[in-house]
A and B are shown apart, each in its own frame.
Chain A
Amino acid sequence: MGDASALRLKDRLRANDEAFARTGHLFGLSKLARKESDPGTYEAVWHILSNLCNAAWSVGCKVSSSPIAAEGGDALWALHTPTGEAICISRGITAHPGLLADMIRNFIELGYEDYPGFHQGDIFENNDPHYGGIHAPDFDMGMPLFYRDELVAWASCVSHVSDCGSVTPGSIGFLNPDCYSDGLCIAMEKVGENDAFYPWYEMRIKSRTRTPDWVLGDARGRLAGCLTIREKLTQVIEKYGLDFFRDASQEYVEDSRRYAVGRVKTQTVPGRIRKSQFKDLAMKGKRVLLGKQDIDCLFNLPMELEIEADAKVRISLRGASGTVPFGQNISPTALKSGLLMGYSHIIGFDMFNSGPKAAWEVEPPPAGSWANPFEKDFSASSGVAWAPAVMWLSSLYEVFGRLFQMRGFVEEMAAGAATTMTAEFAGINQMGVYVAGLTLEQACNGSPARGFTDGENSAWCLYTPNADFGNAEIAELYYPILFLGRNIEPDSAGYGRFRGGLGHTAVWMVHNTPGIEYQCGCAGIRSKTIANHGMYGAYPSIPDRPSYAHDTNLRELIAEQKPLVHERGDPENPNIAQVVKARELVTSAIAPFVTPEPLQNYDLIVHPISGAQSMGDPIERDPKAVEDDLNKGWVRARVAEEIHGVVARPNGSSAWFVDEAATEKRRAEIREERKRRAVPFKQWWAQEKQQVAARENMDPAVLTMWRTSMELSPDYGAELRAFWDLPEDFEF
């Protein structure tokens, strides 16, 4: 190791790559010598380093003043090797360690070691997707850490700022038409030295973001967390020795790679697994920024995994559709970083670090697709790049859930994930202060159904293990809203033998403001469509459809002490329509959108947060579980009887009781009905291929999606044509 540490970092990168190619082990570590010789210390130091990152998270989030970090913890800190591999990672937004590792590697690859050089106290940042960032509001920081004049590690951080100066207020820039509208850009820059930001960095934030106090607070939080890591790492090195730290930190990464490979080999099956997935972005006729955005879009988010004999997992996005003139295109670096997070949930969660990245290979996504935009469309926007990626990642849960089932590991099975619909407010709040920022409702979804039980309600979030929608009272402090309700939403997580964890609905009344913009954002939602997550015969969860009322009679209702709206109510007869009179009343809005006019006092918003996905035939759900859901108000009687085939009746009081004999009979009838009305696949195929060829009942967004998917991935197009027996030159 002494020799290696004397090499320049760029040379060490090359040596590491060559060692991995030669041996199949990261850093060429065919043996984990520290682990084998002293497993106790090895394990103890891992936990110390892990806690050190979590301490940085606690410090950094507290130093930051923005509600997103301080209340939601929407940030993350990590410790890296000198060449950038993440060793261990804090809690927080776990989609980022992969790209933070790649950012550090890029600083080295770009020759920054020579100029401007790496010194103790230097601060480097990036938020530019062209260089590996995910989107402008996620500020990525790296600090080289020295011990006695030797660069021994890096600390890194990402925090999600409330406003990055993009063309629309806030941080969910789905409306951004191009990268020039994505906001303040920090392109692989040195932004400070001697543990302090340059004055011009702060000046830029002050003049180019709408909430500079919060954005600067986040910057100081990032720095405080990184300094926490540096201080505590020095103590670790002094206690355990630099040689131990150097060796063990590399072993942790290789150990994690081995764990991921081992799980694949012992808990899955080799072969090819495919999952189609789609998401919509319907913007035609809505408030947009440029004429070219007056369109509807559908994304093709295909996932194909090939698990090979050596347990290597090859991942492909062949068939991904083209870029869109909205902020929903993602760089491959950021996409792979999201994949590392998904992998950490499902496969490699023993030691969360860069190791599992070496256990798989991602085929470069089609150039010009949403997943690899810049090769063909350098100006593509990444305002909320995460949106399509998170829905693509949702397939990973189901895919591995299926694989675990095949090996009998029922306890590891999961269905697909929920969606992420954000609420952002921009305007003057009740204190007369301009605010622009997110509520945290979306950070608390239902969790996926598991192979042995239902998912949990409002207790899970794909992008952060800190599933926490924050305190309502804190949200009311920042934004001019009052919570009229926050309720578990019945029937919001699909229908299956095991149902997904349910989502919840927030009901807000706008209060004490001269007017505020409500942006119902897409950080990964479906509003026109539903997920392709009908795992083992379940029905997928419902589309994301918020409601709002503008220019209402709520003030009068309050004065007269009449009932208000506290929950959504029946899908066909929602409470908002029963209770509220308004100049503009939208009960089932196609999201995302910005309301045509700013909302005003006594306007009402019903903002649902989705549940996750179910698994299994819904008529195989335990009738007692349906009864329990009926009694909790989590399933409606119509769904219980028509979809689950459960016959239940209220027994005098409010409690429901299942009629087991009638249920058995009803379920037998449903099975027979299914066989009667269904047709042999071949018969359907013969008819369907004609309708496909005629483009019948296919929205223009569907046709555009297929056209770009087939152009960008010719082999995918050829297979689609062959399946429907279409001519070789057929195009949609």
Chain B
Amino acid sequence: MADFLKADIEKLMDGVLPWPAVQDMLKSPKDPNRFDKYVEIVQGRVDWKERILLPLTPALFIVAKDGERIVKCRCGHEFGDYRVNWKLASLIHVRDDEASIAEIYKGRELPDPGWVQIREYVCPGCGTQLEVEAVPRGCPPDFEFLPDLDTFYRDWLGRPLPDACEYADKTLDAIRDWSR
């Protein structure tokens, strides 16, 4: 069973691992402790101390904080309960007319603003462009991933998390609060 070095995994993440070593990683049986190594690496790359439970994206993490599980950017900005789509707590810039879309796509590359709007989700803390959506008006933002964290830790990793919480999408609850 392979046991790749943390240093090599870091190089892989940074896009500098030589191709033969990448091929070795692709072809070899996977290291069963990769998740733990990966979390150690990303934990070591942030300045804050909350424990990372799941790297949601390269920039966003679900962390344990004060008995809760929240989404947190690598810069430290916090987005709240991981069961609410974090996009609701982000900044958004929407391109839905020709002039704003043409800042990205010019001439023959220009999509039709009557058919698609480009939504850029930006971290209020560091200005990282976290996700981009290209969808027609009316499309709710994608809630890309709602993890079943307790099943993951209890059944798949064999070490249950304390303070199990309900596995449920809470996004519409937040919307209902806004609507009141």
Complexed CA–CA distance, A722 and B178 (Å): 11
A537 to B109 alpha-carbon distance, docked (Å): 19
Segment from B63-71, B85-93, B158-166 that makes contact with A:
B85-93
A678-B91 contact in complex given A617-B128, A672-B127, C-beta closer than 8 Å: yes
Interface residue? A723 (CB, 8 A) = yes
On whether the beta carbons of B109 and A409 are closer than 8 Å, the reply is no
B73 to chain A, nearest CB (A): 12
Complex Cα gap A200–B137 (Å): 54
Residues of B140-157 whose CB lies within 8 A of A = 140, 142-149, 151-152, 155-156
Task: Give the residues in chain B near A679, CB-CB below 8 Å.
Answer: 91-93
Given contacts A539-B132, A692-B137, contact A407 B35 (CB under 8 A): yes
Contacts known (A671-B126, A678-B122); A410 close to B142, Cβ less than 8 A: no
Q: Which residues of A contact B172 (CB under 8 A)?
A: 719, 722-723
For B176, the chain A residues whose CB sits under 8 A away are 722
State whether A536 touches B59 (Cβ < 8 A): yes
Q: With A410-B9, A452-B12, A452-B22 as given contacts, are A537 and B54 in contact (CB-CB < 8 Å)?
A: no
Could you tell me if A539 and B109 are in contact, using CB atoms closer than 8 angstroms? no
Name which residue of chain B comes closest to A262, CB basis. Answer: B30
Q: Judging by beta carbons under 8 Å apart, are B30 and A725 in contact?
A: no
> Within the complex, which residue of B26, B110, B133, B151 is in contact with A532, where a contact is CB–CB below 8 Å?
B133
CA distance A616 to B88 in the complex (A): 20
Tell me if A685 is interfacial: C-beta within 8 Å of chain B: yes
Asked whether, in the complex, the Cβ of A405 is within 8 Å of the Cβ of B58, the reply is yes
Interface residue from B93, B124, B138 paired with A677 (Cβ < 8 Å)? B93
The verdict on A697 contacting B151 (CB below 8 Å), with A272-B146, A274-B144, A674-B129 known, is no
Contact B134 A411 (CB under 8 A): no
Which residues of B have CB within 8 Å of A545? 108-109
On whether the beta carbons of B129 and A537 are closer than 8 Å, the reply is: yes
Among the listed B9, B112, B116, B178, which residue makes an inter-chain contact with A408, where contact means beta carbons less than 8 Å apart? B9
The reply to whether B129 and A706 form a contact with Cβ atoms under 8 Å apart is: no
- Within 8 Å CB of B30, what residues of A? 266-267, 409
A199 to B54, CA, bound (A): 64
A530 & B105 in contact (Cβ 8 Å cutoff): yes
Contact indicator B127/A671 (Cβ below 8 Å): yes
Binds B, one of A146-154, A275-283, A386-394: A275-283
CB-CB nearest in chain A for B57:
A536
Contact indicator A402/B111 (Cβ below 8 Å): no
Cα separation A686 to B152 with both chains bound (whole Å): 36
- Nearest Cβ distance between residue B122 and chain A, in whole angstroms? 5
Chain B residues within 8 Å of A272, by CB: 145-146, 148, 169
A589 to chain B minimum Cβ distance, whole angstroms, is 9
Q: Which residues of B contact A719 (CB under 8 A)?
A: 140, 172
SS class of chain A's interface: helix, strand, loop or mixed? mixed
Given A270-B152, A309-B151, A675:B138 Cβ within 8 A: no
* Residue from the set B12, B137, B146, B151 with the largest chain A CB neighbour count within 10 Å: B137
* CB pair A722 B135 closer than 8 Å: no
Total count of chain A residues near the partner, CB < 8 A: 98
Q: What 1/0 mask marks residues of chain A from 675 to 697 whose CB sits below 8 Å from any chain B CB? A: 10111111011101001100011
Contact between chains at A574 and B108 (CB < 8 Å): yes
Contact mask A374-418 → B, CB, 8 Å, 1/0? 000000000000000000000000000011011111111000000
Residues of B within 8 A of A524 (CB): none
Question: Chain A residues near B38 (CB, 8 Å)?
Answer: 407-408, 410
Once the chains bind, are A278 and B136 in contact (CB under 8 Å)?
yes
Q: How far is the CA of A638 from the CA of B105 in the complex (A)?
A: 11
Q: Do residues A528 and B34 form an inter-chain contact, with CB atoms below 8 A?
A: no
CA distance A535 to B57 in the complex (A): 9
| Residues of B contacting A280 in the complex (Cβ-Cβ under 8 angstroms) | 115
Rounded to whole angstroms, the CA-CA distance of A455 and B155 in the bound complex is: 35
Across-interface contacts of A620 in B (CB, < 8 A): 128
Asked if residues B34 and A276 are in contact (CB atoms below 8 Å), the reply is no
A473 adjacent to chain B (CB < 8 Å): no
State the main secondary structure of chain B at its contact with A: mixed
B138 touches A722 (CB 8 A): no
Q: Please report the C-alpha to C-alpha distance between residue A403 and residue B146 in the assembled complex, in whole angstroms.
A: 11
Measured between alpha carbons, how far is A540 from B134 in the docked complex, in Å?
Answer: 8
Asked whether A498 lies within 8 Å of B106 as measured between CB atoms, the reply is: no
Q: Bound complex: CA of A670 vs CA of B120, how far in Å?
A: 13
Indicate with 1 or 0, residue by residue over A516-544, a CB within 8 angstroms of chain B CB atoms.
00000000001011111111111110110
Kindly provide the distance from the CB of B169 to the nearest chain A CB, expressed in whole angstroms.
7
**Known contacts A678-B122, A684-B92, A537 near B131 by CB under 8 Å:** yes
The CA of A266 and the CA of B39, in the complex, are separated in Å by 15
- In the bound complex, residues from chain A placing their C-beta under 8 Å from that of B55 are 405-406, 408
Which one of B108, B136, B147 lies within 8 Å of A702 (CB-CB)? B136
**Interface contact A681-B93, CB-CB below 8 Å:** no
**Across the interface, which residues of A come within 8 angstroms of B13, CB to CB?**
410, 451-452
> Can you list, as one digit per residue, whether each of B19-34 has a CB less than 8 Å from chain A (1) or not (0)?
0001001100010101
Contacts of B129 in A (CB 8 A): 537, 617-619, 674
Q: Which residues A135-164 have CB closer than 8 A to chain B? A: none
Given the known inter-chain contacts A543-B109, A617-B129, A678-B91, please indicate yes or no for A720 contacting B140, CB distance below 8 A.
Answer: yes
Q: Tell me which residues from 614 to 651 in chain A have a Cβ below 8 Å from any Cβ of chain B.
A: 616-620, 622, 638, 642-643
Question: Which of B115, B120, B155 is A529 in contact with, Cβ under 8 Å?
Answer: B115
Cβ contact of B133, chosen from A534, A543, A678, cutoff 8 A: A534
Interface positions of A from 249 to 286, Cβ below 8 Å from B: 265-267, 269-276, 278, 280
A538–B59 alpha-carbon span in the complex (Å): 13
**A558 located at the interface, meaning its Cβ lies under 8 Å from any Cβ of chain B in the complex:** no
Residues of A within 8 A of B59 (CB): 536-537, 617
The B-contacting residues of A in range 441-467, CB under 8 angstroms, are: 451-453
Known: A674-B129, A691-B137. A572 touches B112 (CB 8 A): no
Determine if A560 is an interface residue (Cβ-Cβ < 8 Å).
no
Contact for A266 among B32, B56, B128, CB less than 8 A: B32
Q: How far is the CB of A495 from chain B (nearest CB, A)?
A: 8
Query: Which residues of chain B are near A50, meaning CB under 8 Å?
Result: none
Q: In the assembled complex, how far is the CB of residue A641 from the closest CB belonging to chain B, in whole angstroms?
A: 12
Q: Is the CB of A276 within 8 A of B135?
A: yes
The answer to whether A681 and B91 touch across the interface, beta carbons within 8 angstroms, is yes
**Are the C-beta atoms of B137 and A269 separated by less than 8 Å?**
no
- With A and B bound together, what is the CA distance between A723 and B174 in angstroms? 10
**Cβ of B96 under 8 Å from chain A:** yes
Which residue of chain A has its CB nearest to the CB of B104? Answer: A539
Say which residue of A271, A276, A309, A697 sits within 8 Å of B139 (CB atoms). Answer: A276
A571 CB–B CB distance under 8 Å: yes
Supposing A684-B94, A705-B136 touch, asked if A529 and B116 sit within 8 A by C-beta, the answer is yes
Given A274-B142, A697-B96; A530-B134 close (CB under 8 Å):
yes
Partner of B140, one of A270, A275, A309, A723: A723
Given contacts A528-B115, A588-B108, contact A675 B147 (CB under 8 A): no
The complex places the Cα of A547 from the Cα of B109 at a distance, in Å, of 12
Min distance, Cβ A257 to any Cβ of chain B, angstroms:
18
7 further A-B contacts with Cβ under 8 Å, apart from A535-B131, A588-B107, are A270-B156, A530-B111, A532-B133, A543-B109, A571-B107, A572-B106, A638-B106
Question: Which residues does B use to contact A, with CB under 8 Å?
Answer: 9, 12-13, 15, 17, 22, 25-26, 30, 32, 34-35, 37-39, 41, 54-59, 87-94, 96, 103-116, 118, 120-122, 124, 126-140, 142-149, 151-152, 155-156, 167, 169, 171-172, 175-176, 178-179
A-B contact pairs, 27 of them (CB 8 A): A269-B147, A270-B147, A272-B169, A276-B139, A402-B145, A407-B34, A408-B9, A529-B136, A534-B118, A534-B133, A535-B131, A536-B131, A537-B121, A543-B109, A674-B91, A675-B91, A678-B122, A681-B88, A681-B90, A684-B92, A698-B114, A698-B136, A702-B136, A702-B137, A722-B176, A723-B175, A725-B179
Q: Which A residues contact B (CB, under 8 angstroms)?
A: 265-267, 269-276, 278, 280, 298, 307, 309, 402-403, 405-412, 451-453, 491, 495, 498, 526, 528-540, 542-543, 545, 547, 570-574, 587-588, 616-620, 622, 638, 642-643, 670-672, 674-675, 677-682, 684-686, 688, 691-692, 696-699, 701-702, 705-706, 719-720, 722-725, 732
